[in-house]
Amino acid sequence: MRILVADDEPMSRRLLQSSLTKWGYEVVTAADGLAALAVLQGAEPPSLAILDWMMPGMEGVKLCEEIRAKKAEPYTYVILLTNRHSLGDIIQGLEAGADDYVRKPFDPSELKVRVATGERILALQAELISARDALRDQATRDHLTRVWNRAAILAVLDEELDRARRDGSSCGLLMVDLDNFKRINDTFGHAAGDEVLRETARTLVASTRRYDSVGRYGGEEFLIVLPGCDEVNSVSHAERLRTAVANLAVAAGAGIICPTLSLGVAIVDGGEHDVAAADLIHCADVALYQAKANGRDRVEVGRLPQLTPTTCL
């Protein structure tokens, strides 16, 4: 673990550094408050900081307040080092966001256990963060394809429609369906079908922009949200995705599967301010149905608000 030692007295700083190094910690030092703040706000800041209360530039207590105001994650565990030890001072330090305090001149064995306590709390916090991230991942990702699940992609769509409404910008929506998926499952088995879904999802993600979102809407259906895209852009994205998947050859057991996609496009442009997500989805769905009816492996565009597909590509 890396520890920041911020103390303006060279002797005290050296003593802290040598003790902590002896106990196996990696130590970064700062000789005043501003240098300490720079270290804590830099890339990969130490997770534990031992801050002298009285320092030029910025006092330890003020430094604490600065760190806490950022609410940064992961947490910085702060031990204040002070020769001020009236109850009022201690309360002021803890209120400023310090986790603990050690009186100067410090007793090495006391400091050692207090640092160990900090290390234990930081480890618990890291475990909690990783458990929380895993839960969040589980709640928002489709387990098979790893793209957004239905609830998450619908939330993304709502957010992007709000943004388009606010900014008067456009937003494209693609409803995407794997052609003849039932036949793939029946012919090659469900494991092969799963592999086709995974490969398709991977290709969709790889062929979209960083700020586009791909989600699994249902069985073999995907929803793709294209922020800022008008009709021309959305159709060209849809065509690119169609081509990318048409070029796939998925190895499945004994055979090679060449999947194709049908895509329905729906667009909200800057002028259409009150389009509900459900209407846009319906519009894309109608266009997708038209793509299927027109022979599959193709893109059709739906029109709001009549919801009638008109363009054939």
Q: Of 56 and 219, which CB lies nearer to Mg ion in the complex structure?
A: 56
Rg (CA), the chain: 29
Report the site for Mg ion in 24-53 (rule: CB under 5 A).
Answer: 52
Q: How far is the CB of 68 from Mg ion (least distance, A)?
A: 21
Q: How many CB atoms lie within 10 A of CB 304?
A: 16
Q: Of 36 and 154, which CB lies nearer to Mg ion in the complex structure?
A: 36
Q: Which residue number places its CB atom closest to Mg ion?
A: 54
Measure the CA–CA gap between 17 and 37, rounded to whole angstroms: 18
Q: Which of 127, 220, 221, 272 is catalytic?
A: 220
Residue 54 interacts with Mg ion (CB under 5 A): yes or no: yes
Q: Of 101 and 217, which CB lies nearer to Mg ion in the complex structure?
A: 101
- Burial call 209-237: b when 16+ CB within 10 Å, e when fewer: eeebbbbbbeebbbbbbbbbbbbeebbeb
Q: How far is the CB of 59 from Mg ion (least distance, A)?
A: 9
**Token digits of residue 301:** 């565009």
- Which of 1, 2, 8, 221 is close enough to bind Mg ion by CB under 5 A? 8
Q: Of 111 and 175, which CB lies nearer to Mg ion in the complex structure?
A: 111
CA distances from 191 to 24, 186, 205, 260 (A): 50, 11, 21, 18
Q: Of 10 and 219, which CB lies nearer to Mg ion in the complex structure?
A: 10
Considering only CA atoms, which of 33, 16, 34 is closest in space to residue 25? 16
Q: What is the DSSP string of 48-115?
A: EEEEESS-SSS-HHHHHHHHHHHT-SSPPEEEEEES--SHHHHHHHHHTT-SEEEESSPPHHHHHHHH
Q: Of 98 and 288, which CB lies nearer to Mg ion in the complex structure?
A: 98
**Token digits of residue 275:** 């389009």
Please report which residue ranges of the chain form alpha helices under DSSP H: 10-22, 33-41, 60-70, 87-95, 108-140, 150-167, 181-188, 190-206, 231-246, 277-293
Which residues are CB-contacts of 22 (< 8 A; sequence separation ≥ 6)? none
Q: How far is the CB of 16 from Mg ion (least distance, A)?
A: 12
With contact defined as beta carbons under 8 Å apart, do 193 and 178 qualify?
no
Q: How far is the CB of 144 from Mg ion (least distance, A)?
A: 58
Q: How far is the CB of 5 from Mg ion (least distance, A)?
A: 12
> How many residues does this entry show for the chain?
313
Stretch of residues binding Mg ion (CB under 5 A), selected from 2-10, 202-210, 232-240, 249-257: 2-10
Residue 199 interacts with Mg ion (CB under 5 A): yes or no: no
Stretch of residues binding Mg ion (CB under 5 A), selected from 54-62, 73-81, 124-132, 176-184: 54-62
Q: How far is the CB of 91 from Mg ion (least distance, A)?
A: 20
Is 220 catalytic? The answer is: yes
Residue 94 interacts with Mg ion (CB under 5 A): yes or no: no
Task: Tell me how many residues contact Mg ion (CB under 5 A).
Answer: 3
Stretch of residues binding Mg ion (CB under 5 A), selected from 5-13, 15-23, 27-35, 213-221: 5-13
Q: Of 8 and 230, which CB lies nearer to Mg ion in the complex structure?
A: 8
Q: How far is the CB of 86 from Mg ion (least distance, A)?
A: 17
Q: What SS3 state is found at 178?
A: strand
User: Any idea which residues carry the catalytic annotation?
Assistant: 220
Residues that bind Mg ion (CB under 5 A): 8, 52, 54
